[in-house]
Amino acid sequence: MMKKVFFAAFVLLIVMGFAACSNKQVPVSTVNLQLQNSVDSLLKQGMGEYGATEGMAIVVETSTGNLRAMVGLKENNGKLVSDTTLFSKARKTFLFRSASLLAALETGNVSLDDMFETYAGIDVVGQDTIYDHNWRKGGYGELTLLQGLAYNSSIAIDKAVDVAYQDKDVFLQKLEQMGLEKDSTFNGSWPLYALGFHHIKPVNFVSFFNAIANGGKMVSLKSQDSSAIVVDSMIAEKKNIESMKKAFRFYVTNGLGKKAESKMVNVAGTSGTIHTDDGIYADFCGYFPVEKPKYTVFVSYKRPEIPVSGGGMAGQTFRKIAEQIMKTCK
């Protein structure tokens, strides 16, 4: 009798263990395989067309932070191979100008309507000389801050930060409060930091940009499906988030991001082209639909030499990805 009891208990333990294992949820990837393949194809197409040696695209579902597509490619012996390390590889990016603009707006000392003198596209700040991209053509002269972002004027953004902040540490603290990791290895001037000459991981900046698209709410970017994980319910004042949204839309309709504009869906975003020791990066980050953002998309290409254009290269691929999503992921 005792043996039967032990045997029954043993069987019960096995059944209970099996049931427990069965109840464990298998992690579900957030990646949409159809979209992943489409983004991979569009990125390869762009790399071939623009002669890029590296390419990267990240597609995020704005409200949840779910990563719907992540493609990293690099050239290796004449072939394009996958390289997922690109997502977390910290580097310089002129996209950071938009973060500095938001930090400046947060002080209340500047607004998008304020005028700033950008001269002939060259400005000397301390020991640094800041150039706007069109300095060889005579620069932009006087611009509103809204136009300054739209025309990628580093001088306008730098002047806005200078008016907004007298204390470098307060400025850096504000950037951290908005979810942007501090580059503790940077030893240059803070005007250069404000423009994006320090190192930041692409995924960190995408998270920040997604927060603006999400009305100021920052959520964790994640590759396993789950409810949204809120990092910060509001990274900045609502009025300043709305100002940034206005600026990003203006960038596409009236600025250097016109090639990102789509007839299929209203988009918003910004671009940057920056020279580094290992090449020239063309970046574009944006979101859509403007009326109620559902997706945030980052695209980047690296070329060894000019010509390079963030809006013209990465912006066009952004548009193609946006239109592909609108066709298949409604």
CA distances from 295 to 43, 62, 228 (A): 17, 5, 14
Same domain as 67, residue 40: yes
The 10 Å Cβ neighbour count of residue 237 is 14
pLDDT surpasses 90 at 328? no
pLDDT surpasses 50 at 16? no
pLDDT at residue 5 in the model: 39
Task: Report yes or no on 7 lying in a domain.
Answer: no
The 10 Å Cβ neighbour count of residue 300 is 27
Question: Using CA atoms, how far apart are residues 194 and 197, in angstroms rounded to an integer?
Answer: 8
Runs of H (alpha helix) within the chain: 2-23, 33-50, 96-106, 145-150, 154-164, 168-177, 190-195, 202-213, 238-254, 315-328
pLDDT surpasses 50 at 304? yes
pLDDT at residue 10 in the model: 38
Among 11-15, 185-189, 261-265, 283-287, name the one with the lowest average pLDDT: 11-15
- For 27, residues 6+ apart whose C-beta sits below 8 A from its C-beta are 224, 225
Same domain as 195, residue 99: yes
Same domain as 117, residue 206: no
pLDDT surpasses 90 at 2? no
Same domain as 249, residue 193: no
The dihedral built from the CA positions of residue 111, 112, 118 and 122, taken in this order, carries a sign that is: positive
Same domain as 321, residue 251: yes
Q: What angle do CA 181, 187, 193 make, to 5 degrees?
A: 55
pLDDT at residue 43 in the model: 98
**Cβ-contact 116, 159 below 8 angstroms:** yes
Of 35, 81, 100, the residue nearest 247 (C-alpha): 100
Of 290, 255, 280, 326, the residue nearest 98 (C-alpha): 255
210-221 average pLDDT score: 98
pLDDT at residue 24 in the model: 53
Question: Using CA atoms, how far apart are residues 183 and 188, in angstroms rounded to an integer?
Answer: 11
Q: What is the pLDDT of residues 37-89, one digit of tens each?
A: 999 999 999 999 999 999 999 999 999 999 999 999 999 988 999 999 999 99
Task: Report yes or no on 205 lying in a domain.
Answer: yes
238-250 average pLDDT score: 98
Question: Using CA atoms, how far apart are residues 112 and 108, in angstroms rounded to an integer?
Answer: 11
289: exposed, middle or buried (Cβ count in 10 Å: 0-12, 13-18, 19+)? middle
**3-class DSSP state of 54:** strand
Task: Report yes or no on 231 lying in a domain.
Answer: no
pLDDT at residue 48 in the model: 94
Task: Output the domain CATH number for residue 286.
Answer: 3.40.710.10
Mean pLDDT of the chain: 91
Same domain as 139, residue 215: no
Binned at pLDDT 50, 70 and 90, residue 306 comes out as: confident
pLDDT surpasses 50 at 122? yes
Question: Using CA atoms, how far apart are residues 94 and 105, in angstroms rounded to an integer?
Answer: 18
pLDDT at residue 224 in the model: 87
pLDDT surpasses 80 at 238? yes
Structure tokens at 195: 């423009």
**DSSP structure class, residue 313:** I
pLDDT at residue 330 in the model: 58
Widest CA span of the chain, in angstroms? 99
Same domain as 244, residue 207: yes
Residue 281, amino acid:
Y
pLDDT at residue 177 in the model: 96
Number of domains in the chain: 2
Residue 65, amino acid:
G
327: exposed, middle or buried (Cβ count in 10 Å: 0-12, 13-18, 19+)? exposed
Binned at pLDDT 50, 70 and 90, residue 160 comes out as: very high
Same domain as 321, residue 216: yes
Binned at pLDDT 50, 70 and 90, residue 154 comes out as: very high
Same domain as 117, residue 183: yes
pLDDT at residue 25 in the model: 60
Beta bridge partners of 75: 80
pLDDT at residue 234 in the model: 98
Where in the sequence is the domain holding 75, given as residue range(s)? Answer: 28-89+201-224+238-271+279-294+305-330
- For 272, residues 6+ apart whose C-beta sits below 8 A from its C-beta are 93, 94, 95, 96, 97, 152, 196, 281, 282, 283, 310
The 10 Å Cβ neighbour count of residue 254 is 13
Task: Report yes or no on 63 lying in a domain.
Answer: yes
Same domain as 185, residue 217: no
**Higher pLDDT pick, 37 / 19:** 37
**Higher pLDDT pick, 2 / 134:** 134
Binned at pLDDT 50, 70 and 90, residue 308 comes out as: confident
The 10 Å Cβ neighbour count of residue 125 is 15
**Higher pLDDT pick, 184 / 165:** 165
pLDDT at residue 13 in the model: 41
pLDDT at residue 266 in the model: 98
